Amino acid sequence: MSRTTPRRPCDVEALFPALAAHRRTATRLHPRHGTPTAQESSVAGPLLWPADEPWPVCTAGHPKGTGHLLADVRLRRRIEEDASGRELSEDERRLLDGMAVGNHFPELRDDAPLPMLAVAQLLAADVPDLDGQEGHDLLQVFWCPFEVHGPDRTIDVMLIWRRSADVSAVPVLSPQPEPPVVGRTECVPNMCVVHPEQVVEHEYLGLLEEKLQEEISAWEEGLLDDEGDIDNGDMDNSSSPVGYATYEEYEAAMAAARAEQPEEIDYQSDLSIAPGWKVGGYASWHLTDPAPVNCPLCGAAMPPLLTVDTWECDGASRSWLPVEDRDADNPLHAIAPVGVHLGRGLMRVHTCPTDPSHPHRLSFQ
Ligand SMILES: [Zn+2]
Ligand SMILES: [Zn+2]
């Protein structure tokens, strides 16, 4: 089933023609639980990785045997998924209680090469905004699942660009290596198929020229005045609301419900930047002031190549929920399918537009 972002609630370029100069396309990936093949674009699926090539490893020095067993992370998610809406059985509870953070492999040295996690495989044939330059039409994304790298102690991302023709007919590596231990459970993506869909985005409000920002803000205020005192449903998202086990469940239920409600229009939430996993488009700076991301080698401004987001949409950005997901049996599958939470929910990989061999950079929200 494909995924379709609803039409934006108004034509923002008709209202503000100057925005045409601040338009980009992005491809929303719409990851959903599934079992992709190595030939397909996917999140955390098998890769078109030649059998005779070494798998990427992390050689940075950090305690590599200490953390959560990857197998436990997956089993815990399966148990919690099976048990959603009912009490855990005794067996299930015993299994969960047996999972512990610890030094599972004390023999692993800090500098031992640890297989990186396969995070995504994207083909330009599926993802129109995937621009690998020079015929590179296949991107494979890995990360080391410990947030301990570099001065900012972040996740370490590796990008491998290929020409799909080079690997489409060679024997694929099987099984594909994985790290036995991960630093945080939220670094482990669930295996997902993707349903790429190209959408139009407009630059983050705070990065538009001042006059345009003022015009948009004045227009938004006018809309609010028109709505009078309708409850706008703002939420305190600091705790799990009554009736929901987790804040995630609550958010999922709210986003699904609100997708049916009359639109309140807001530039930032509805008309500028799509939430969720995507390729291309703009970076949102809703939690920090905008921070320039420039190439460390040539100084070029680096646009986001890949955005990794905990939420495919939330209460504020509910207008982006695909029409196919409005009646989902389990809204969480549509709203937080991947299970990854980096930074304060969002991590972007930026690449140099001038020279693809220049190192990428990460930004977080
Ligand atoms: Zn590492
Ligand atoms: Zn550069």
Which listed ligand is nearest to 110 at the C-alpha? 1
Helices (H), 209-282: 210-227, 247-258
Output the six-digit token pair for 188: 């482990």
**pLDDT of amino acid 134:** 86
Which listed ligand is nearest to 301 at the C-alpha? 2
CA dihedral 48, 54, 60, 61 (to 10 degrees): 130
Interatomic CA distance for residues 195 and 190, integer angstroms: 15
Ligand 2 center from residue 353 Cα (angstroms): 7
For the chain, which ranges sit under pLDDT 70?
227-245, 253-263
Residue 248 burial (CB < 10 Å; 0-12/13-18/19+)?
Answer: middle
Query: In whole numbers, what is the pLDDT of the chain averaged over residues?
Result: 92
**pLDDT of amino acid 331:** 84
What is the domain partition of the chain in residue ranges? 1-29+202-365, 32-194
Ligand 1 center from residue 113 Cα (angstroms): 9
Asked if 318 and 242 touch (Cβ cutoff 8 Å), the reply is no
Strand segments, DSSP code E, in 166-272 are 181-182, 192-193, 197-202
Which listed ligand is nearest to 361 at the C-alpha? 2
Which listed ligand is nearest to 296 at the C-alpha? 2
Output the six-digit token pair for 272: 């500028």
Ligand 2 center from residue 351 Cα (angstroms): 8
Ligand 2 center from residue 307 Cα (angstroms): 19
Strand segments, DSSP code E, in the chain are 23-28, 32-33, 42-43, 57-58, 66-69, 102-103, 114-115, 117-123, 138-149, 154-162, 181-182, 192-193, 197-202, 278-280, 304-309, 346-350, 361-364
**pLDDT of amino acid 230:** 45
Ligand 1 center from residue 338 Cα (angstroms): 21
Which listed ligand is nearest to 350 at the C-alpha? 2
Query: Cis link prior to 46 (omega < 30° from 0)?
Result: no
Pairing of strands 57-58, 346-350: unpaired
Name which of 282, 281, 271, 343 is nearest 311 in CA terms. 343
**pLDDT of amino acid 233:** 44
Q: What is the pLDDT of residues 44-53, one digit of tens each?
A: 999 999 999 9
**pLDDT of amino acid 327:** 87
Asked if 341 and 290 touch (Cβ cutoff 8 Å), the reply is no
**pLDDT of amino acid 238:** 47
Which listed ligand is nearest to 145 at the C-alpha? 1
Interatomic CA distance for residues 130 and 123, integer angstroms: 7
Asked if 128 and 25 touch (Cβ cutoff 8 Å), the reply is yes
Ligand 1 center from residue 27 Cα (angstroms): 29
Interatomic CA distance for residues 358 and 209, integer angstroms: 29
pTM of the model: 0.89
**pLDDT of amino acid 249:** 74
- CA angle 272-273-277, nearest 5°? 165
